[in-house]
Amino acid sequence: MANLVDLYIVYRILRKLTTPFEEWEAYKRKIIDIEGNIIKKSDDRLSAEDKYALTTLDVLILNLKKILSKLPFGKTKLASYGAALFLIKEEKNLTEDNLEQRFITYLNSQQLKEEISNVTGSGIAGTTGDPPVPSKVMMRRFANNDVFVVDTERYLKARLGKRKYLKYETYVGNDDVGNAIREFGRKYPKKPIILQDGKTGSMIFLRYGKKGMFREQFDLDLRGL
């Protein structure tokens, strides 16, 4: 597991490297064109959304992507996601799904804890300090995914994941927290449902989404790594 964080970072860079420019958030916000040329200069990118859509890391990947495209077979070699994933296969049977699971396992083994960020909105309460047992709906963000912070009992009930024909109530209960999780699952059927133990910081998937954690937009700021 020692090199898993490095593997995760490389994975994210390669995933962005193999994503067509027209699928980048910067293209959708008219910051770059379809060829990856920057058409909205940094001095004109004043909003937080624009600054976030094209970070320093994005510019680095953008320039590397343009250079590679000029090399013989550059486009075809990096055109497919599978080819890029092959470049970082350090272990047998490494896939996107088991990389997600292994990364969560790694975080749990290291007992990594991040400060719980406040989430505003109806029925959502922020927290301060280190609550032993969350009694209200608390959420945070991890790798561009929403994470529900729950009590240990609820976490343990969900540790094996949700079975297809069982109701969410079986795992998360029917109180405010359980209702919020069920509502999230109905509202976002393609997103994963991730739970974090409020005491230990460990995380698990209650449900794997149609889109994996590492297929989401790369909003994790790697500049500080």
User: For every one of its 225 residues, what pLDDT tens digit does the chain have, with 9 covering 90 and above?
Assistant: 435 556 667 777 777 877 889 999 999 999 999 999 999 988 888 888 888 888 888 888 888 888 777 765 555 555 554 555 555 554 445 555 565 566 566 555 544 444 334 333 433 344 344 444 445 788 888 767 788 998 888 888 777 655 665 677 777 888 888 889 888 988 988 888 888 888 888 888 888 776 544 444 333 333 333
Beta-ladder partners of 142: 145
Q: What is the domain partition of the chain in residue ranges? A: 4-102, 113-215
Query: Which residue do the tokens 């896939």 mark?
Result: 95
Query: Which residue do the tokens 């109180």 mark?
Result: 175
CA neighbor of 112 nearest in space, from 1, 200, 12: 200
Tell me if the pTM is above 0.85: no
Encoded tokens for 194:
């991730």
CA neighbor of 172 nearest in space, from 187, 164, 182, 163: 182
Q: Residue 16: what are its φ and ψ, rounded to 5°?
A: -70, -35
- Asked whether 133 and 179 are in contact (CB, 8 A), the reply is no
